[in-house]
Protein backbone atom coordinates (compact mmCIF):
# COMPACT_ATOMS: atom_id res chain seq x y z
CA UNK A 1 0.00 0.00 0.00
CA UNK A 2 2.84 2.41 0.80
CA UNK A 3 4.24 2.02 -2.73
CA UNK A 4 0.80 2.88 -4.13
CA UNK A 5 0.78 6.07 -2.02
CA UNK A 6 4.21 7.07 -3.35
CA UNK A 7 3.14 6.45 -6.95
CA UNK A 8 -0.15 8.30 -6.45
CA UNK A 9 1.54 11.34 -4.90
CA UNK A 10 4.20 11.52 -7.65
CA UNK A 11 1.58 11.14 -10.39
CA UNK A 12 -0.80 13.73 -8.90
CA UNK A 13 2.06 16.16 -8.30
CA UNK A 14 3.53 15.83 -11.78
CA UNK A 15 0.13 15.97 -13.49
CA UNK A 16 -0.90 19.16 -11.66
CA UNK A 17 2.49 20.74 -12.40
CA UNK A 18 2.03 19.86 -16.07
CA UNK A 19 -1.37 21.58 -16.03
CA UNK A 20 0.10 24.59 -14.23
CA UNK A 21 2.88 24.92 -16.80
CA UNK A 22 0.49 24.51 -19.71
CA UNK A 23 -2.34 26.78 -18.56
CA UNK A 24 -0.93 29.09 -15.87
CA UNK A 25 2.47 29.96 -17.29
CA UNK A 26 0.94 32.05 -20.10
CA UNK A 27 -1.35 34.01 -17.74
CA UNK A 28 0.78 34.08 -14.58
CA UNK A 29 -2.05 33.97 -12.07
CA UNK A 30 -5.71 33.05 -12.05
CA UNK A 31 -7.92 34.20 -9.15
CA UNK A 32 -10.14 31.32 -8.00
CA UNK A 33 -11.38 33.35 -5.01
CA UNK A 34 -10.18 36.90 -5.52
CA UNK A 35 -7.73 38.16 -2.86
CA UNK A 36 -7.89 34.79 -1.07
CA UNK A 37 -6.94 31.84 -3.32
CA UNK A 38 -5.22 32.06 -6.69
CA UNK A 39 -3.52 29.60 -8.99
CA UNK A 40 -0.18 31.31 -9.65
CA UNK A 41 2.66 29.91 -11.76
CA UNK A 42 6.04 30.17 -10.00
CA UNK A 43 9.42 28.64 -10.84
CA UNK A 44 10.98 28.09 -7.43
CA UNK A 45 14.77 27.71 -7.56
CA UNK A 46 15.06 27.51 -3.79
CA UNK A 47 13.48 25.74 -0.86
CA UNK A 48 10.50 26.68 1.27
CA UNK A 49 9.75 30.41 1.17
CA UNK A 50 12.41 30.82 -1.55
CA UNK A 51 15.37 30.15 0.77
CA UNK A 52 18.72 29.00 -0.67
CA UNK A 53 18.03 30.15 -4.21
CA UNK A 54 19.90 28.40 -7.05
CA UNK A 55 21.30 25.57 -4.89
CA UNK A 56 19.83 22.90 -7.18
CA UNK A 57 22.65 20.37 -6.80
CA UNK A 58 22.51 20.73 -3.01
CA UNK A 59 18.76 20.03 -3.01
CA UNK A 60 19.17 17.05 -5.32
CA UNK A 61 21.83 15.48 -3.08
CA UNK A 62 19.84 16.15 0.11
CA UNK A 63 16.66 14.74 -1.44
CA UNK A 64 18.42 11.56 -2.57
CA UNK A 65 19.93 11.05 0.90
CA UNK A 66 16.61 11.70 2.65
CA UNK A 67 14.85 9.45 0.13
CA UNK A 68 17.24 6.60 0.92
CA UNK A 69 16.63 7.07 4.64
CA UNK A 70 12.87 7.09 4.08
CA UNK A 71 12.98 3.93 1.96
CA UNK A 72 15.18 2.17 4.54
CA UNK A 73 12.78 3.22 7.32
CA UNK A 74 9.78 2.01 5.32
CA UNK A 75 11.45 -1.39 4.82
CA UNK A 76 12.13 -1.70 8.56
CA UNK A 77 8.62 -0.70 9.66
CA UNK A 78 5.58 -2.98 9.55
CA UNK A 79 4.22 -2.85 5.99
CA UNK A 80 0.69 -1.68 6.78
CA UNK A 81 1.47 0.77 9.57
CA UNK A 82 0.34 4.37 9.68
CA UNK A 83 4.01 5.30 10.05
CA UNK A 84 4.76 3.67 6.71
CA UNK A 85 1.91 5.54 5.04
CA UNK A 86 3.11 8.90 6.36
CA UNK A 87 6.66 8.15 5.22
CA UNK A 88 5.22 7.25 1.81
CA UNK A 89 3.48 10.64 1.63
CA UNK A 90 6.76 12.40 2.43
CA UNK A 91 8.73 10.24 -0.02
CA UNK A 92 6.20 10.80 -2.82
CA UNK A 93 6.39 14.55 -2.31
CA UNK A 94 10.18 14.50 -2.22
CA UNK A 95 10.32 12.49 -5.45
CA UNK A 96 7.83 14.83 -7.13
CA UNK A 97 9.98 17.88 -6.37
CA UNK A 98 13.18 15.95 -7.20
CA UNK A 99 11.84 15.19 -10.68
CA UNK A 100 11.33 18.91 -11.26
CA UNK A 101 14.79 19.85 -9.99
CA UNK A 102 16.53 17.24 -12.16
CA UNK A 103 14.40 17.84 -15.26
CA UNK A 104 13.90 21.61 -15.09
CA UNK A 105 16.39 23.01 -12.56
CA UNK A 106 13.51 24.43 -10.50
CA UNK A 107 10.27 23.33 -8.85
CA UNK A 108 6.92 24.38 -10.28
CA UNK A 109 4.66 25.91 -7.61
CA UNK A 110 1.09 27.09 -8.20
CA UNK A 111 -1.07 26.94 -5.05
CA UNK A 112 -1.32 30.51 -3.81
CA UNK A 113 -3.29 31.39 -0.68
CA UNK A 114 -2.90 35.15 -0.52
CA UNK A 115 -2.65 35.17 3.29
CA UNK A 116 0.26 32.66 3.18
CA UNK A 117 3.75 34.00 2.40
CA UNK A 118 4.66 31.36 -0.22
CA UNK A 119 3.29 29.63 -3.30
CA UNK A 120 3.51 25.83 -3.08
CA UNK A 121 2.50 22.62 -4.86
CA UNK A 122 0.96 19.18 -4.27
CA UNK A 123 4.32 17.60 -3.38
CA UNK A 124 4.92 20.26 -0.72
CA UNK A 125 1.45 19.62 0.68
CA UNK A 126 2.05 15.88 1.04
CA UNK A 127 5.46 16.46 2.64
CA UNK A 128 4.00 18.85 5.22
CA UNK A 129 0.89 16.80 5.99
CA UNK A 130 2.97 13.60 6.21
CA UNK A 131 5.47 15.28 8.53
CA UNK A 132 2.69 16.64 10.78
CA UNK A 133 1.04 13.21 11.05
CA UNK A 134 4.42 11.56 11.67
CA UNK A 135 5.25 14.09 14.38
CA UNK A 136 1.87 13.54 16.02
CA UNK A 137 2.34 9.77 15.98
CA UNK A 138 5.82 10.02 17.43
CA UNK A 139 4.80 12.41 20.21
CA UNK A 140 1.36 11.09 21.18
CA UNK A 141 1.49 7.42 20.18
CA UNK A 142 4.58 6.35 22.18
CA UNK A 143 7.06 6.66 19.30
CA UNK A 144 7.62 4.31 16.40
CA UNK A 145 7.08 0.62 17.14
Q: How far apart are CA 51 and CA 38, in angstroms?
A: 22
60 burial via Cβ count (<10 Å: 0-12, 13-18, 19+): middle
- Report yes or no: 123 and 13 within 8 Å, Cβ to Cβ: yes
Q: What DSSP line would sit under 48-79, residue for residue?
A: GGG-STT-HHHHHHHHHHHHHHHHHHHHHS-T
Phi, psi torsion values for 38, nearest 5 degrees: -125, 160
Q: Active-site residue numbers?
A: 109, 124
Q: What DSSP line would sit under 86-108, residue for residue?
A: HHHHHHHHHHHHHHHHHHHSSEE
Amino acid sequence: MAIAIVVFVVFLDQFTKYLAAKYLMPVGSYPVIKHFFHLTYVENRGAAFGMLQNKTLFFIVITVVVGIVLIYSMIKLPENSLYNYTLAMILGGAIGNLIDRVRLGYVVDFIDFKFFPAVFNIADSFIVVGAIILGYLMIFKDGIR
